[in-house]
């Protein structure tokens, strides 16, 4: 809820405030300052290099700080991820880091943690703010601006094809914040160019093989395709395999663009098969844990902490290959 002059706080007891309007508003539970913490990290899945890099970064940072990390892998199931969070609550972790697989199903678990007095920090993906709010139900959201990523890819593509393209879009996991926002960013941005047309848009669930299968089907239905925009590199690499299987030359017959910046994608740029990828940085560990410590110290945190991303194409791919994940 927005605090305005009219609904100013009139009382504040144990983190629960009553507004002049009579509506209760409460901040996320506080976190004590301690030497060490038991920290939960409920990962969504481990089926791509981006997820593995995120997990490694969280594990490395916890180890460096000497904190106990309770790690779970939801194996691509929002229901399992919710039960993983509930089990962390039962184990009495001090704080939970969560990349919610989808933007609605994880909300009850976030609210359970709040009720149990455990602060939740969302990393990488956000939830639907109509159902849960940063600074109220969870501490903050740390991550990339997915709308901006979609916009940057659209602008790069439009320039590369002189504003003329017949596009297949491979969407990420349905109901996830990156899929929603990367679609919005890209689809809205290309409206500026009348010659940029989306022929078909379908989910490939952020997975390489699903991306390959969906691209195969959509290419058969739309042989006139000249560009593929994938919401992540794994699906773009699947689409490149589908193009090759269909006897087309990626980078020549069809230009492929995507998001993430994983090593295989950077190599595909060097090989001329992928045209460009907007980085989405998965190395959350240092920022996630420093944010947690700031919160424990009572610092006022913003509702959104933005990760800034680079952009890779043939001009800089060779320079970043060795450091890509
Ligand atoms: O939430 C970030 C996205 O999720 C990454 O782009 C993708 O590769 C991952 O699975």
Q: Which of the four pLDDT bands, split at 50, 70 and 90, describes residue 77?
A: very high
d(CA 193, CA 253): 21
d(CA 309, CA 89): 33
Give nearest CA residue, ligand 1 atom 3. 178
- pLDDT of 106 reads 98
d(CA 167, CA 201): 9
Beta bridge partners of 195: none
- Ligand 1 atom nearest residue 49's Cα: 8
Mean pLDDT of the chain: 93
Give nearest CA residue, ligand 1 atom 10. 206
Q: What is the pLDDT of residues 82-129, one digit of tens each?
A: 999 999 999 999 999 999 999 999 999 999 999 999 999 999 999 999
Strands 38-43 and 24-26: unpaired
Torsion of CA 132, 138, 141, 147, to 10 degrees: 0
d(CA 282, CA 286): 11
What's the whole-model pTM score?
0.93
Q: What is the pLDDT of residues 184-214, one digit of tens each?
A: 999 999 999 999 999 999 999 999 999 999 9
In degrees rounded to 5, what are phi and psi of residue 4? -115, 175
- Ligand 1 atom nearest residue 124's Cα: 1
The residue to mutate among 51, 81, 234, having the most atoms of ligand 1 within 8 angstroms of its beta carbon, is 51
pLDDT at 6 over 80: no
Rounded to 5°, angle at Cα 173 from 170 and 175: 120
pLDDT at 21 over 90: no
CA-nearest of 112, 42, 111, 40 to 77 is 42
Fold of 11-143+287-307: Rossmann fold (3.40.50)
How far is Cα of residue 133 from the mean position of the Cα atoms in its chain? 17
- pLDDT of 16 reads 46
* Ligand 1 centroid, distance to 13 Cα (angstroms): 40
Share of the chain above pLDDT 70, in %: 92
pLDDT at 11 over 90: no
CA-nearest of 38, 237, 114 to 228 is 237
- Ligand 1 atom nearest residue 99's Cα: 1
11-143+287-307 and 146-280, same CATH topology: yes
CATH no., domain 146-280: 3.40.50.2300
Q: Which of the four pLDDT bands, split at 50, 70 and 90, describes residue 10?
A: very low
- The pocket around ligand 1, CB under 6 angstroms, is made up of 48, 50-51, 124-125, 178, 206, 232, 234, 259-260, 280
Strand ranges across the sheet with 24-26: 9-13, 16-19, 24-26
Match 């959201």 to its residue by tokens: 141
Beta strands in 44-179 (DSSP E): 68-73, 95-98, 120-123, 141-144, 165-171
- pLDDT of 307 reads 95
* Ligand 1 centroid, distance to 206 Cα (angstroms): 7
What are the sequence ranges of the domains in the chain?
11-143+287-307, 146-280
The residue to mutate among 52, 206, 259, having the most atoms of ligand 1 within 8 angstroms of its beta carbon, is 206
């Amino acid at each position: 809820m927005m605090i305005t002059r009219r609904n100013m706080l009139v009382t504040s007891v144990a983190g629960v405030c009553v507004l002049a309007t009579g509506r209760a508003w409460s901040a996320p539970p506080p976190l004590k300052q301690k030497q060490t913490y038991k920290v939960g990290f409920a990962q969504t899945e481990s089926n791509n290099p981006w997820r593995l890099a995120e997990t490694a970064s969280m594990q490395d940072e916890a180890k460096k700080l000497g904190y106990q990390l309770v790690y779970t892998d939801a194996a691509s199931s929002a229901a399992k991820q919710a039960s993983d969070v509930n089990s962390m609550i039962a184990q009495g972790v001090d704080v939970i880091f969560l990349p919610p697989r989808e933007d609605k199903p994880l909300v009850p678990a976030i609210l359970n943690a709040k009720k149990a007095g455990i602060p939740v920090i969302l990393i990488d993906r956000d939830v639907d703010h109509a159902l849960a709010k940063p600074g109220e139900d969870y501490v903050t959201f740390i991550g990339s601006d997915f709308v901006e990523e979609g916009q940057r890819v659209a602008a790069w593509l439009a320039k590369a094809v002189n504003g003329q393209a017949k596009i297949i879009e491979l969407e990420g996991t349905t109901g996830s914040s990156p899929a929603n926002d990367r679609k919005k960013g890209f689809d809205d941005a290309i409206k500026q160019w009348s010659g940029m047309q989306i022929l078909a848009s379908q989910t490939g669930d952020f997975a390489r093989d699903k991306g390959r299968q969906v691209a195969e089907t959509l290419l058969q239905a739309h042989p006139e395709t000249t560009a593929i925009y994938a919401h992540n590199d794994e699906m773009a690499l699947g689409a490149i395999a589908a193009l090759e299987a269909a006897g087309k030359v990626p980078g020549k017959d069809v230009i492929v663009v995507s998001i993430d910046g994983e090593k295989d994608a950077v190599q595909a740029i060097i090989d001329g098969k992928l045209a460009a990828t907007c980085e989405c940085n998965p190395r959350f560990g240092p920022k996630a844990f420093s944010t947690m410590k700031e919160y424990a110290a009572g610092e006022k945190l913003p509702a959104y902490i933005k990760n800034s991303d680079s952009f890779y194409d043939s001009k800089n791919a060779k320079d970043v290959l060795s450091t890509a994940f």
